[in-house]
Amino acid sequence: MPQERTVGGDFTVSVEVTAPIMNAVKSDCVDDTVNYAVITDIVRQEMAFPSALLEHVAGRIAERLFQTFPSIEKIWVEVRKENPPMGADCKGAGVRAYFVR
């Protein structure tokens, strides 16, 4: 909706990745795994750019994660708008998308 681009909205984003972890299990070193702090930064950066579709945002997040972490095999991204202006009493509306390398 046009007013949403002006006033913005509240969103919840969840990310789940599948990647091999045996190197991290053995080394106890963050460089050997998928760093969730970096994932959080990527999500914040991508959520800062307006988009017409939640699907588009989820795709951008997944693309950045695949580029940043070559070890990631699969990604689930859920983007949920907490209070969508759709004339209904609901707890939110969103999309959950699955991406495979």
**CATH number corresponding to 2-100:** 3.30.1130.10
Q: Are 65 and 76 in contact (CB under 8 A)?
A: no
pLDDT band, residue 2 (cuts 50/70/90):
low
Q: Are 12 and 82 in contact (CB under 8 A)?
A: yes
pLDDT at 7 (0 to 100) = 54
Domain boundaries in the chain?
2-100
**pLDDT(61) > 60:** yes
Q: What is the mean pLDDT of residues 10-39?
A: 96
pTM for the predicted model, two decimal places: 0.87
Q: Which residues are catalytic, by number?
A: 81
Three-state SS for 11?
A: strand
What span, in angstroms and rounded, lies between the C-alpha atoms of 32 and 14? Answer: 22
What span, in angstroms and rounded, lies between the C-alpha atoms of 73 and 62? Answer: 11
Q: What is the mean pLDDT of residues 64-80?
A: 97
**pLDDT(84) > 80:** no
